[in-house]
Structure 1
Amino acid sequence: MISAEIQSFIPIVLKACVEASEAIMEVYETDFDPSMKHDGSPVTKADLLSNSIIKLALEKTGIPTIMEESINSPFETRKTWEHVWIVDPLDGTKEFIKKNGEFAVCIALVYQNQPVLGFIVSPANKEIIFGGKEIGVSLLDFDQIDQAERWKVVQPKTTISTPLKIAGSRSHHSGSDLKFNESMRELFGEVEFIKMGSALKFFDLALGKADVYPRFAPTMEWDIAAGQAIIEALGGMVVHAETNQPLKYNKENLYNPYFIVKTKPILERLKK
């Protein structure tokens, strides 16, 4: 549900997206030293700066947050929240460290455990894609955040690519990927693989450059909540790999199950 009040939050989030991205790119241009978190994943000054900027901005909305680089509230508190922002201030830190440009900022608004509004930002390309079922999806450059008339309306993908384009992770792979890819070959014939770091894969999926994205490796809610809101707004789905049900958010355990992102034409083909 996106009320008029929540629509009024869009300018706040867009501004935060740009400010966080600028802070990220300032660090990107330096010889920064990453450190390791307790779970063995890397973190940089850019992650923490972006986290602080976005957290401060979202406080203006009065809606609580779940953020990768913050100490989050216990589930006993979180489970009472009807709305919550779920944020990855720098998705793709490994790619950021490699300096290949394949990193993103992800911000999602979740209502009753389902994402209703998502923002994915490419700091390196200075682009934002955002949307939800009730408002559609828009693509814009950083210098257009105050010029809605210049935003590009993203239309749902209508055909399956030939060959079928499968989006995949730059840094994470598993044996289940091979089984999935073979099943896609049996259904659709020739396939082509598009490797991309971070949530930037959702840009490709939303803009028709990829058809499907399987993920059989660990991810967290903040990695894909924004992407699910955008893909659902375009008629697709992000589903549990085993149950085929949409993913839920603000769970007690913030890890996602293995999932598959299906664009609208893939869903329509699989229903036949």
Structure 2
Amino acid sequence: MQLSEILTDVIRIADEASERVLHIYESDFKVSYKDDDSPITAADVASHEVIVSGLRAISYDIPILSEEGRDIPWEERQHWRRFWLVDPIDGTKEFTQRSGEFTVNIALIEDGEPTLGVVTAPALKEAFWGVRGEGAWKRDRAGKVRRISVAEPRGSKRVVASKNHLNDETRDFIDKIGDHELVQAGSSLKFCRMAEGRADIYPRLGPTSEWDTAAGHAVLASAGGRVQTLQGEALRYGKEDVLNPSFVAAASWCL
């Protein structure tokens, strides 16, 4: 399967999910809570249904792991060499706070590596995508598509951080970077801001799940960046435990 051949379909699916999400975002929606106290709305469910249906139509033989359909036993998942990894809405807190900085995320994982990723920001009317070995692109709110890449080396690093998850460990890491500028962003937009050259490094010393990072990781890697653990190893996907270790994502020259 050539990744470039299915990219257009994956973008279309993400756009369809984004339309459903935006319709709910602009309504008087209600917020419920899962067993782990994380928020969920009708938009999460609607996006999940659109994406899963769309991906099955274009690739019926590739399994799907989605945050909203995640109860698939390891005994089954351990045999997946290739699978779709989906976060129907990353940044549900940003969604409920109506900040606009939430995203729809679809990634294709092959042998533990994200090789294709699509990230849409419905409220911002932006979209990003990347394919391993072929590059990364951004579609702006006017519909114009341009190729993107990470920024060139600079003296003062622009550190992108989460508005809702800036813990003490991350602050300590940032302080050790030296001269820097703090850039705030929510959800997987942090990866995309680096991919388009608007930030340089994103340390995350706190809990995330594989579906939170995979699509943004694919976009950043396709734009010339890297995502690695604090031990310097590549961040991998398809583990028994879907929680990610702490990691640093950045333009390659920052690592």
| TM-score interval, smaller chain | over 0.9
Contact 2:83/2:110 (<8 A) preserved: yes
Partner of 1:173: 166
Q: Which range is displaced more, 198-207 or 44-53?
A: 198-207
1:151 matched to 2:145? The reply is yes
Separation in structure 1 between the aligned mates of residue 243 and residue 149 of structure 2, nearest angstrom: 31
Deviation at 1:71, TM superposition (A): 4.0
TM-score using structure 1 length: 0.89
Separation in structure 1 between the aligned mates of residue 224 and residue 169 of structure 2, nearest angstrom: 26
Partner of 1:211: 200
Rate the CA distance shift 1:257–1:175 in 2: closer, same or farther, 3 A.
same
Partner of 1:98: 97
Partner of 1:18: 15
User: 1:250 aligned to 211, 232, 238, which one?
Assistant: 238
Separation in structure 1 between the aligned mates of residue 23 and residue 110 of structure 2, nearest angstrom: 34
Contact 2:149/2:197 (<8 A) preserved: no
Q: Equivalences for 1:125-164 in 2 at 5 Å? A: 125-141=124-140, 151-160=145-154, 162-164=155-157
Q: Which amino acid aligns with 2:147?
A: V
Rate the CA distance shift 1:165–1:71 in 2: closer, same or farther, 3 A.
closer
Q: How many residues align?
A: 253
Q: Equivalences for 1:252-271 in 2 at 5 Å? A: 252-267=240-255
Q: Which amino acid aligns with 1:55?
A: V
Partner of 1:270: none
Q: Give CA deviations for 1:44-74 in whole Å, capped at 9, x if unaligned.
A: 0000000000000010212111100114421
Alignment partner of 1:198: what SS? coil
Contact 1:133/1:234 (<8 A) preserved: no
Q: Give CA deviations for 1:155-189 in whole Å, capped at 9, x if unaligned.
A: 342222x532110011012221122112101xxxx
1:74 matched to 2:63? The reply is no
Contact 1:117/1:229 (<8 A) preserved: yes
Deviation at 1:143, TM superposition (A): 7.8
Deviation at 1:201, TM superposition (A): 1.0
TM-score using structure 2 length: 0.94
Partner of 1:237: 226
Q: Equivalences for 1:112-127 in 2 at 5 Å? A: 112-127=111-126
Deviation at 1:16, TM superposition (A): 0.9
Deviation at 1:264, TM superposition (A): 2.4
Structure 1: where are the runs of 5+ without partners?
A: 145-149, 268-272
1:225 matched to 2:179? The reply is no
Separation in structure 2 between the aligned mates of residue 138 and residue 182 of structure 1, nearest angstrom: 32
User: 1:55 aligned to 52, 57, 62, which one?
Assistant: 52
Rate the CA distance shift 1:238–1:217 in 2: closer, same or farther, 3 A.
same
Contact 2:150/2:200 (<8 A) preserved: no
Q: Which amino acid aligns with 2:217?
A: Q
Separation in structure 1 between the aligned mates of residue 247 and residue 182 of structure 2, nearest angstrom: 17
Partner of 1:43: 40
Rate the CA distance shift 1:248–1:128 in 2: closer, same or farther, 3 A.
same
Alignment partner of 2:119: what SS? strand
Rate the CA distance shift 1:156–1:172 in 2: closer, same or farther, 3 A.
closer
Rate the CA distance shift 1:163–1:143 in 2: closer, same or farther, 3 A.
closer
Provide the identity percentage. 36
Alignment partner of 2:227: what SS? strand
Alignment partner of 2:69: what SS? coil
Q: Which amino acid aligns with 1:78?
A: R
Rate the CA distance shift 1:210–1:225 in 2: closer, same or farther, 3 A.
same
What is the aligned-residue RMSD (CA, Å)? 1.5
Q: Which amino acid aligns with 1:38?
A: D
Task: Kindly report structure 1 stretches of 4+ aligned residues shifted beyond 2 Å.
Answer: 141-144
Structure 2: where are the runs of 5+ without partners?
A: none
Rate the CA distance shift 1:182–1:137 in 2: closer, same or farther, 3 A.
same
